[in-house]
Amino acid sequence: MVEAMEVTATVEVERSALDKLLLGNANVTYQFLRAMINRRRELETKVEQLVFKDVVPSWPNCSFAWVRNTGWSTSAASSWA
| Mean pLDDT in order along the chain per 10 residues (81 residues) | 72 94 95 93 87 59 52 50 46
Pair 53, 37: CB distance under 8 Å: no
**CA-to-CA distance for 31 and 39, rounded, in angstroms?**
12
pLDDT of 46: 86
| Contacts of 18 by beta carbon, 8 Å cutoff, 6+ apart | none
pLDDT (0 to 100) of residue 24:
95
Model confidence pTM above 0.75? no
Q: Distance of alpha carbon 36 from its chain centroid, rounded?
A: 14
Residue 81: its pLDDT value, please? 46
**Longest distance between any two alpha carbons in the chain, whole Å:** 65
